[in-house]
Every structure is written in C-alpha cells, then in structure tokens.
Amino acid sequence: MNVLFVQGKQWFQNLSRVLTTPLFYIGDNHLSISAIVRLIILAIVVLILARSIGTGIKRLLLTPIGLDRGSREAIATVIIYIVATLGILIILQRAGIDLRTITVFAGVLGIGIGFGLQNLASNFISGLTLLFEQPIKVGDFIEVDNLLGTVESISIRSTIVRTLDGIFVIVPNIKFVENNIINWSYKDPKSRLHIPVGVAYGSDPVLVTEALLDVARTERSILKNPSPKVWFKGFGDSSLDFELLVWIDHPQDSDPIKSSLNFLIEHELNQRDIVIPFPQRDLWLKNTQDLSMLFQNINITNNIDSQMFDQNGIASEQKQNSIQPHAQKPITKSLSNWTLRDLLKRVTYFESFTDLKLRKLIEYGYRQLFPKGQIICQENDAGYSFYIILSGAVEVISEKTGKYIATLHEGEFFGEMSLLLGSPRTATVKTLEDSILFVIEQHDLQRLLEESPSLAVDISQKLCERRQALLELGLLDLNSPDNSPFNRIRNRIQTLFGI
C-alpha cells in the first residue's frame, strides 16, 4: 500500500510539474498549460456572459420600446462583441499579461499572415458595415446572387439566409458590400407584381381589362391601395399582350400569389369566353390546282355514296329531322350577367363615355352584388367607399331617430358625404331588392371626379338637397349669402381633390 501511495503521489507531482512548467514567455510573464486552460475557461465564461447580457437587453429593453427585429438584433450583436472584447482584455490584464506586448505581437503577426487572410479581413469589415449601417437587417427579405430568402442572423464573418424552400445558406458578408442587393423589405415592403396575359386577336380589350381587375380584387393578398392596373403591352405574334399589375406587402409570398392569380385568370377568361391562343404560324401551299382537283374527286365520291345510302332508305327519317329547324326559346339575360361596361352605360354620367374612357373607369371601381335586405353601410361607421347604383334600389334610414329618409334607384349614388367631409356614416343603407353597385374606394374617387367633372357637380347638388344632414353636420352658414351650400361643398371638393 505504501508503495502504491508513493507512486501515486509521485505521479501527481510529475503531472503538476508538467502543467506548471512555462511553455513560453510574453514579456516578463510566462504561460503554462494550466494558465492557458484557466484563460480558456475564463474566456468561455466571458462569452457566455456577453451573450446572456446581449439577449437580456434585447428581450427586456429593446423589445418593449418597439424597435423592429433587425434593429434589435444589430444592437444586441454589437453589445455582445463589445462585452466579450472588454471581458477578454480584463482577463488578460488580470493574468499579468502586458497588453502592449500583445499589441506588438499582433501587429507583427498581422503583417505575416495578412495577405493569407484577406477574405477573412474583408468579411470582418463588411460585417461591421452591415451591423452599423444596416442596409440589410435580420428579418429582411432579400435577393443576392439569384438567391431569395429571409435574413436570419448577421455575424462578423457571414450572414445566414433562409430561402423560400427552408434551406439555410451561409453568405460571406463581402457579397453584400460588393454586389447589388435587392432588399424587398427596405423601408417599405410594398412591391408590385407583373402578371403577363395573352389573349386571342379579336378579343375586346375592355372585357379583358374588366376580367383581370375582377381577378385582382378577388385575391385577398392584393392591396387595394395602390389600385391594380391593366396595361396593354403590345401586339404579339399570336396574341394581344396584356399585363396585370398588382401591389403586395409580403414580397416573400410573391410566388404563391402569382400562382393563385394565374389560376383565377384562367378561370375568369374561360367564364367570359375569352380565348388564350396557342402559337400560330402561317402555312403557304404550292400546286393548289392539283390539290383542288383531288378534293373535287373526293367530294364526287362522297355524293355518290350518300345517294346510294338514301336509296336504301336507311336513316332517312333522321336526316329529315336534322333538317327541320327547332323552335328556340328567347333567352333573357340577367343584369348580373351583363358586363360592367354595359351596366355603366346605363348610368347617366357615363352614357356618353367611349370604350377607352369606360376602360379607365373600370380601373377606378368594381361591381358588387348585394342581395335583398343586406345592409351596405351602417350608421356611425367610418366611410371608405362611394357607391353608384347600377341596378336595383336601396333604402336610406336613420337608426338614431328610426325615420325613413329616402329610396335611391338606378343611376343614383350614396356614400359621398363620409368621404368628402371625413365624418362617420350619417345613415344606414339597405337594399330593397337584389342590387348591383359600382364601388369606388376613397383613394380612387379623385381620379373618377377628374374624369367626370359633371359627376362632381352633381355630388355638390345632391349634398345641397340633403339640407338637413348638412345642418346637423354644421356645414351651413345661413348668415352668409355668398357662402351657399353648393359653393361650400364645391370648395370642399376642390380642396380635397384639386379639381
């Protein structure tokens, strides 16, 4: 036992001597294996502490004050690096290492290996640039080198991007400094999609415009403001080339939105009997006289066979029946199946519009069907839409007083008071029968009034006729003869829309 104890003690003494033996000197201080291990452990503790401090500041301080995700991540990353650097310097100082010696050593070492680490140094400087200037931030949707994805993290050397397929790609920071980067989320995430559509020659451009705009307003991911547009791009080899332009605020969903729009466009064009053409080529035939003689011989043979078939009395009754015309019932086309262009022409304000003007008008609003008894707008609600009755009738009532106000029919409008005066809805409007309305959003009303000044005049006159509502809103000054209700509303329209 004593021998084993002595051997074990001797072994531990040898190990202690190995661990404490100086390996090299830095200035007047030496470093042994134990000192190096101690420094490494302290450095790991400092890094963990720095990361905990950065995460805590991000969660407890930066998040409550409302900073966006990118700014929070950038600030937290800078704090982590600063705390870690200061901690490492303090550890080295406490270990008795002269930092001036390390500085000289690092300078000499940097000269030696600087040329071999050019890329690493470039990525390091680029990482600092990204963190402080923030051309891209964590959470941004970007495109770099044909790579689309969301920025997940930004470090000193590289940036991690998660693609639309869920793949994480590590991109060197120098790529974001040297190359052109598309940042879809920079300042304003709104972006415009271009959907090309080709239709057969002979298609009505107004009907194509109406169909494409109906599709755009059906898709929920499309923004109402800015409004969707339809451009006539040109005359293709086999088609009339149109382009549907829509705005979205989630650019990372652009591919699913495009797919959904293409499905809807195909369905809508089929419903309206608008043909999507195949590529066409002209075929020129030579020796047409020989071909005509061949077809004449074929026709003579067919006629002889047909006569023999009739002589045998086969299917003669069926042939006679096919010749007799069938009585056709008159087809009544419901107003709901009318095109929006035809419905708008029924309205007095637009009956003189050409097809080109009607096409522009269709871009300002859309058709909406309301069944009998449905409330279109509620009293005291905020008003964002203007309505023109294309067919049917609506009833205007005051829920506050329980009184009937008016009945509006085809060609009349309502909803203008809330838009022009910025006040809540003054009454409730409900359909008396199945009705079709032309709905115009607030941001499109200015362009409509610019296209149809007579409508602006009529709006002023209608507002004056609703004298009681204007008195309740305090718009009438009966003591001023030069400031009639008509002029006040007219001035209000000029102030709002500059027309």
- 429 contacts 383 by C-beta, under 8 angstroms: no
CATH code of the domain containing 263: 3.30.70.100
What integer pLDDT is reported at residue 178 of this predicted model?
Answer: 79
Is it the case that residue 326 has pLDDT exceeding 50? no
Based on the fold, state whether residues 150 and 164 are members of the same structural domain.
yes
- Evaluate whether residue 98 is within a structural domain: yes
Which of 81, 113, 145 corresponds to the end of one domain? 113
- Evaluate whether residue 259 is within a structural domain: yes
Based on the fold, state whether residues 384 and 254 are members of the same structural domain.
no
Give the tens place of pLDDT for each residue, 335-387.
667 888 888 888 877 877 888 788 888 888 888 999 999 999 888 888 888 89
Is it the case that residue 9 has pLDDT exceeding 80? no
Q: Which of 327, 336, 405 is nearest to 367 (CA)?
A: 336
Higher pLDDT pick, 449 / 306 = 449
Give the tens place of pLDDT for each residue, 385-410.
889 999 999 998 888 778 888 899 98
Q: What angle do CA 440, 443, 449 make, to 5 degrees?
A: 65
Based on the fold, state whether residues 169 and 263 are members of the same structural domain.
no
Give the tens place of pLDDT for each residue, 126-157.
777 777 777 888 888 888 888 889 998 888 77
- 327 contacts 371 by C-beta, under 8 angstroms: no
Based on the fold, state whether residues 258 and 393 are members of the same structural domain.
no
Based on the fold, state whether residues 367 and 482 are members of the same structural domain.
yes
- Evaluate whether residue 386 is within a structural domain: yes
Give me the chain's average pLDDT, please.
76
Based on the fold, state whether residues 81 and 204 are members of the same structural domain.
no
- Evaluate whether residue 287 is within a structural domain: no
What integer pLDDT is reported at residue 426 of this predicted model?
Answer: 79
- Residue 442's pLDDT band (boundaries 50, 70, 90)? confident
Which of 271, 305, 324 corresponds to the end of one domain? 271
Q: What is the extent of the structural domain holding 204?
A: 191-271
The count of structural domains within the chain is 4
- The structure tokens listed for 444 are 């499109």
What integer pLDDT is reported at residue 101 of this predicted model?
Answer: 58
- Evaluate whether residue 128 is within a structural domain: no
Question: What is the three-class DSSP state of 43?
Answer: helix
What integer pLDDT is reported at residue 244 of this predicted model?
Answer: 95
- Evaluate whether residue 290 is within a structural domain: no
Amino acid, single-letter form, for residue 39: L
What integer pLDDT is reported at residue 144 of this predicted model?
Answer: 85
- Evaluate whether residue 492 is within a structural domain: yes
Give dist(CA 358, CA 346) in Å, integer.
Answer: 12
Based on the fold, state whether residues 243 and 150 are members of the same structural domain.
no
Out of 64-68, 197-201, 388-392, which region has the weakest mean confidence (pLDDT)? 64-68
**Any idea which residue has 């522009």 for tokens?**
360
Based on the fold, state whether residues 471 and 342 are members of the same structural domain.
yes
CA 179 from chain centre, in angstroms, equals 25
**Any idea which residue has 């190995």 for tokens?**
18
Please report, rounded to a whole number, the percentage of residues in the chain having pLDDT higher than 90: 18
Out of 53-57, 194-198, 430-434, 467-471, which region has the weakest mean confidence (pLDDT)? 467-471
- Evaluate whether residue 345 is within a structural domain: yes
CA 71 from chain centre, in angstroms, equals 23
Based on the fold, state whether residues 264 and 381 are members of the same structural domain.
no
What integer pLDDT is reported at residue 402 of this predicted model?
Answer: 80
Mean pLDDT in residue range 191-204: 93
Based on the fold, state whether residues 351 and 485 are members of the same structural domain.
yes
Mean pLDDT in residue range 81-88: 81
- 409 contacts 389 by C-beta, under 8 angstroms: yes
Which of 271, 289, 307 corresponds to the end of one domain? 271
CATH code of the domain containing 159: 2.30.30.60
Count CA atoms closer than 13 A to 484's CA, side-chain side.
8
CATH code of the domain containing 377: 2.60.120.10
Higher pLDDT pick, 458 / 472 = 458
Mean pLDDT in residue range 287-291: 67
Amino acid, single-letter form, for residue 392: G
- Residue 96's pLDDT band (boundaries 50, 70, 90)? low
Based on the fold, state whether residues 103 and 154 are members of the same structural domain.
no
A 10 A CB-CB count for 294 gives 10
Based on the fold, state whether residues 474 and 493 are members of the same structural domain.
yes
The shares of helix, strand and coil residues in the chain, as percent rounded to the nearest 5, are: 50, 20, 30
Give the tens place of pLDDT for each residue, 213-240.
999 988 889 998 888 999 999 998 889 9
What integer pLDDT is reported at residue 245 of this predicted model?
Answer: 95
Q: Widest CA span of the chain, in angstroms? A: 133
